[in-house]
Amino acid sequence: MGTKRTLEASERGRDDALQVSRFSLTTRLTVALLLLAWVPLLIAFSLQYRLVDRNLEEQGELQLAQLAEVQRRRVDRELEGMVNGLALVASRTQMRISLDEFGRSADEADKAFVQQILTDAADSAEHLEGGWVYDVSDQPVAKVGRVFRFPALQVFEQLPELAANRMGPYWVDDECERVIWTGTDLELDGRLIGRLVLAFGTQRLRSLLDDFPNPAIIGQSHIILERPDGARCVLSSTVANEEEDAAAALLSEEQILEISARMQPGEKLLSPFDDQQSTLIALTLRSASARLMVHSAPRMQQQLRTTMLAGYGGVLAALLALTTLFSYWVSTWISAPLKHLTKAVSSVRAGRNLPPMDIKRWPHEVLILAQALRDLTTAQRQFVTALRKENRQRRAAQSQLLDLANTDELTALANRRQFIHCLEQQAANPAAHAALLYMDLDRFKPVNDEHGHQVGDEVLKTVAERLINAVREQDVPARMGGDEFAVLLVDDEHWPQVEQIAERIEGSVAQSITVGDITVRVGCSIGAVKLTPGQSIHEAMKQADEAMYAVKQARKQGPGGS
């Protein structure tokens, strides 16, 4: 005994003597590779950061111009949709035929038909505020309006200024309501028979301006509308940030109108134009009576600067992280053979099997050591493997025997022995709540008598499957013998739910069962009792059996009972 303790102390002494440094070979290799990778990377990004900082202002204006062009295309598409809506309404052939007939005969029925067609067409047009049909003498024939009541007389006065399929804004000065109105000539067989005027609300345009992406670059978007009589107004997007510094950098409607009047057609950029050093881009739209202006405040440019520089900083952080991971991977790859060999030696010293080692690409010197260690432990590994295999086979056989002892051979449900065991466990827990269902099949004996036991066995299997599907996952269904079954409802003290489960089982079992070419129908009688803590198992089974028998007798004595 003294010699063994001396050897153990000697081993511990050697282990303590080997712990010279707390830094492993992998750590040292990782630090060396990081120094080689990080130093040039930080120098290169420092120079790149300064270069990017000098070019940010020019890139910001270029990006602002690109985004303004995207906004212009979006607004143009919306205005084009209004023109398409006008063309869709004007394409109603029956409306033009009825308008022509009304111009010839002044029949009120034709006028009413034009009104009906215009009303139906207006229902299918989006954001339509009003519509009017005039005859060839410029007299109103039909009109339709939803929320906005457009002054027909003022529209009529503007018609001579309106070319075919041309859009123009119009609003009433005293109401300050703004719309986009469109007009076109109505022709039939090459003859002018009247005109169509539609007024579209600006709700869609306003939401289009507010829904523009990249709010950190574009501060506001403005659509400048001009009536045929020269009056102008501005539709502007809202700004989510209501802080004082943000609101001070925004332009008022008067400033927008004044600046747009100074800008020449086709002029793209005007900067600076005020004390705020803001950037304003003016773009012409397809409609000759509208213009788009995009305004970027200094705060927005600063946000763009911060965002872009933060992006480059994020790239640098990502590259540093990648180099760190790569350095760690390379150092791990270099030191892996020695680490594997060290673990293998430790396993052998502890009396365990030699762990698997992939030695195909190891250095020759380490390979010789690994091969020698593998040869020494091969016999031990084979012995342990055989022993573990035998142990697994023994446990599998024991598990199979246990399953056979606790499972009904025909239905694969728990047998009577296992069910009684579950009841005993439930009764041993004073805080548990449970209920017991005892079930006996009805009309099962004639099935065996008429069709044989093979069909009867298939019926019992089907009943077992339906019983499993009818109960919950925590419940325990079992076959007690013959055509008797039982269910332990675990953690259930609510009697209505117990009755609901019993009704679900009864309805499922009562459905017809097909075995080959034979179709039979059986039922079941279920007795249900609530289990109380400390109750005798045999008493509970007796009460459930009596309840089941009472149900069976009541059915026999009732109407149609058998």
224: helix, strand or coil:
strand
CATH value at residue 489: 3.30.70.270
Distance between CA atoms of residues 42 and 50, nearest Å = 13
Q: Which of 320, 352, 384 lies at the terminal end of a domain, its last residue?
A: 352
In a domain, 460, yes or no: yes
Domain edge (last residue) among 311, 337, 352: 352
Asked if 163 and 285 sit in the same domain, the reply is yes
Tokens representing 76 are 């143009």
Q: Which CATH number is 256's domain given?
A: 3.30.450.20
Amino acid, res. 123: D
Is the pLDDT at 264 greater than 50, yes or no?
A: yes
pLDDT at 73: 84
Which residues, listed in sequence order, are joined to residue 479 by a DSSP beta bridge? 485
- Is there a single domain that holds both residue 340 and residue 421? no
> Which band of pLDDT confidence, cut at 50, 70 and 90, is reported for residue 127?
confident
Compute the distance between CA of residue 421 and CA of residue 403 in angstroms, rounded to an integer: 14
Q: 337 with 439, same domain?
A: no
Q: Identify any residues that bridge with 441 across adjacent strands, giving them in sequence order.
A: 524
Q: How far apart (Å, rounded) are the C-alpha atoms in residues 74 and 359?
A: 64
Q: Which domain holds residue 518?
A: 416-557
Which of 466, 429, 461, 458 minimizes the C-alpha distance to 518? 458
The pLDDT of residue 166 is above 80: no
Q: Do residues 125 and 225 both lie within one domain?
A: yes
Q: Give the Cα separation of 471 and 469 in Å (integer).
A: 6
Residues 77 and 265: their CA atoms lie apart, in Å, by: 21
Looking at residue 22, the DSSP 8-state letter turns out to be S
Last residue of one domain, picked from the residues 352, 386, 408: 352
Rounded CA separation 540/427 (Å): 10
For the chain, give the percent of residues with pLDDT over 70. Answer: 67
Please check whether residue 179 is in contact with residue 202, taking contact to mean a CB–CB distance below 8 angstroms. yes
- Is 167's pLDDT higher than 80? no
CB 197 within 8 A of CB 228: no
Task: Spell 157-187 as b/e; 16+ CB within 10 A means b.
Answer: ebeeebeeebbbbbbeeeeebbbbbbbbbbe
CA distance 200 to 470: 61
Q: Burial of 456 by CB count in 10 Å (0-12 exposed, 13-18 middle, 19+ buried)?
A: buried
Question: What is residue 271's three-state secondary structure?
Answer: coil
Tell me whether residue 2 is in a domain. no
Give the burial class of 316: count Cβ atoms within 10 A of its Cβ; 0-12 exposed, 13-18 middle, 19 or more buried: middle
- pLDDT at position 233 over 70: yes
In a domain, 542, yes or no: yes
- Which has more confidence, 21 or 402? 402
Residue 309, pLDDT above cutoff 60: yes
Look at residue 346 and tell me if it is in a domain: yes
The whole-number pLDDT of residue 244 equals 44
Place 215 in a pLDDT band, splitting at 50, 70 and 90. Answer: low
Q: Is residue 102 part of a domain?
A: yes
pLDDT tens-digit series, residues 236-250:
877 655 444 444 456
**Beta strand spans in 231-317 (E):** 232-236, 269-270, 279-284, 290-296
pLDDT of residue 386: 73
Same domain, yes or no, for 459 and 337? Answer: no
Residue 210: the pLDDT is 78
CA 71 to each of CA 58, 126, 157, 216: distance values in angstroms, whole numbers, following the listed order: 20, 21, 33, 15
198: left (phi over 0), alpha (psi -120 to 50) or beta: beta
Mapping DSSP to helix (H, G, I), strand (E, B) and coil, where does residue 234 land?
strand
* 356 within 8 A of 381, measured Cβ to Cβ: no
Dig out the tokens for 364 from the structure.
Answer: 């020759």
210 found inside a domain: yes
Cα 554 to Cα 399: distance, rounded to the nearest angstrom? 44
The structural domain count of the chain equals 2
Is 392 among the domain residues? Answer: no
How many Å apart are CA 223 and CA 285, to the nearest integer? 9
pLDDT digits (tens, 9 = 90+) for 88-102: 888 888 888 888 888
- Report which residue type is found at 3: T
pLDDT at 478: 93
